[in-house]
Each structure stands twice: as C-alpha cells, then as structure tokens.
C-alpha cells in the first residue's frame, strides 16, 4: 500500500540537498547520510512499547522526535522514501550470521532492501547495529567492495545471497537472505517477533556511523572506533550514565515515559557482565 511520504522532512533530517533523480549517485548520497543522522536504537521494544511501521509513525519518531529505530523502522522508512523518488525497491528478510553458530540466528530477525538501477541490483541496509553500511553494495557474486574501513563481498548460495566481511585474513558471515520479496504483512509479522525477542532478552543496542567513525552500544558497553586509533571503550554503571551515552554519543532524544524507560535501562544494567576492571 502506498503511503504518503514527507520528503522535505526526511531530507532535512538527514541533511540531503542534492538531485532527487532515481540514479545511483542519489542512492549513494542518501545511503551515506541516513545512518549518520538517524541512529540505530531499540529503546521502544526494550520498554515494551510496540514498534509501528506505518509511514506517519515512522516520520513522527525518526524525523520529528529525534529518535532512532531498528532495522524494520530504518529500512521501511528508506524503502518508502526511495519508492516515492521512483526507485524500484524490494524488501527481503535476512537471517543474521554474525555472532551465531553455523547456520545463523534461530529466527529471521533482519530486513534489507534491493534497489534496481540501470540493469543492476544494489543491496541497501541502513538499519544494522553491528555492521552499519554507509553505501549500497552491488549484487555481484564474489566481488570485493570497500565501504569505509570494511571490506565486504556478496556470495551467491543455494538459498540466495550471503554478505561477508573480511576480518584479518578470514571472510566471516554477516547475514544471508533470499530473493523472495516480503510484503507489508510479512514485514509486520517479522517485526512483531523481533520486538518480543528484544523485550524478553532485555537487550539494548545503539549505533551511529558518521564518516569513518563508528559508535556502538551493546548493553552498557560503549565502543567508539576511529581510523588509526585503538577503540575507545566505556561502561555505564548506572541508569544515568547509560542515558548520558544515549544522548551525548548517539544524540537520541529519550522518550519522556520515565516510568517505562528507567526500569528498562535498569534491567540492562542488572544483566550486564561486569566491566573488565570491576
């Protein structure tokens, strides 16, 4: 179903002022600006709030309220924007491989986009906390593609496609996806399952990609990666410190429902492993 898109509000939020022609250059510009301006975060499901994917709710949260979101929110917003700009875009479900045993995560928990331009297809994903792409990747088997300091490749498999990242001398799986296009109702069902998983496990994640700097929060552990430097690591020992990280590093305007937010963040603190120097 077509949903009205406020392009001006989106462009203002990400700082885009270029050509809106449906070209690779336009896609690359938007794909770079989006993750720098709109952070990844999963505060709402952590608090037990529903994650809404209709365009009006996405715009209110991600464009007007200074919030971020997770993959289904980011990539649904991007999909709707690109379609409004006359790009051909398809949504696909992905199974995370990174951090999981061989075979991947037990549930399909990620959403990615394929965009067709001038006879070629490009993988787009502005909603990942671990490997946040800042450029689309050409859907070509075995071709190495540099994005920032990371080297990626897409490999064709019997099930579809597999995204890998090079770590030292090894290629490691990030996620895998097939070419079955997901409908709006398919995405809604996947979103509901992931929303419940985040709440049940009490997991907090946030990420932002600005230029070559990557900031990532997992639980109460903050890591900031800058080119040519050792990663900066910090640990939040209480709810106030965790809020400060979310506001100062990820520039998230926190929800006002402190009766939900503070207990949710306290659960993150309570279940976090001890800091190395503790």
Catalytically annotated residues? 71, 110, 125
Q: What is the number of alpha carbons within 13 Å of residue 227 lying toward its C-beta?
A: 8
Q: Is 118 exposed, middle or buried (0-12, 13-18, 19+ CB in 10 A)?
A: exposed
Exposed/middle/buried for residue 273 (C-beta within 10 Å: 0-12, 13-18, 19+): exposed
| Residue 227, number of CB atoms within 10 A of its CB | 10
């Amino acid at each position: 179903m077509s949903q009205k898109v406020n392009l001006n509000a989106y462009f203002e939020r990400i700082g885009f002022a270029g050509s809106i022609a449906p070209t690779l250059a336009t896609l690359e510009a938007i794909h770079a600006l989006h993750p720098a301006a709109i952070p990844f975060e999963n505060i709402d499901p952590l608090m037990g709030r529903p994650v809404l994917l209709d365009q009006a709710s996405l715009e209110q949260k991600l464009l007007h309220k200074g919030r971020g979101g997770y993959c289904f929110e980011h990539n649904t917003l991007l999909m709707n924007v690109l379609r409004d700009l006359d790009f051909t875009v398809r949504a696909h479900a992905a199974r995370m491989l990174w951090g999981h045993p061989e075979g991947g995560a037990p549930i399909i928990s990620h959403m990615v986009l394929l965009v067709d331009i001038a006879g070629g297809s490009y993988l787009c994903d502005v909603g990942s906390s671990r490997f946040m792409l800042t450029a689309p990747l050409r859907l070509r088997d075995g071709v190495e593609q540099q994005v920032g300091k990371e080297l990626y490749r897409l490999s064709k498999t019997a099930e579809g496609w597999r995204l890998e990242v090079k770590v030292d001398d090894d290629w490691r799986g990030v996620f895998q996806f097939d070419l079955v296009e997901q409908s709006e109702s398919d995405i809604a069902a996947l979103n509901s399952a992931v929303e419940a998983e985040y709440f049940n496990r009490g997991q907090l994640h946030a990420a932002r990609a600005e230029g070559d700097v990557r900031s990532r929060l997992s639980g109460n552990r903050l890591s900031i990666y800058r080119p040519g430097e050792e990663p900066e690591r910090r640990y939040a020992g209480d709810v106030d410190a965790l809020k400060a990280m979310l506001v100062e590093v990820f520039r998230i305007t926190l929800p006002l429902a402190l009766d939900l937010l503070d207990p949710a963040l306290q659960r993150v603190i309570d279940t976090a492993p001890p800091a190395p120097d503790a």
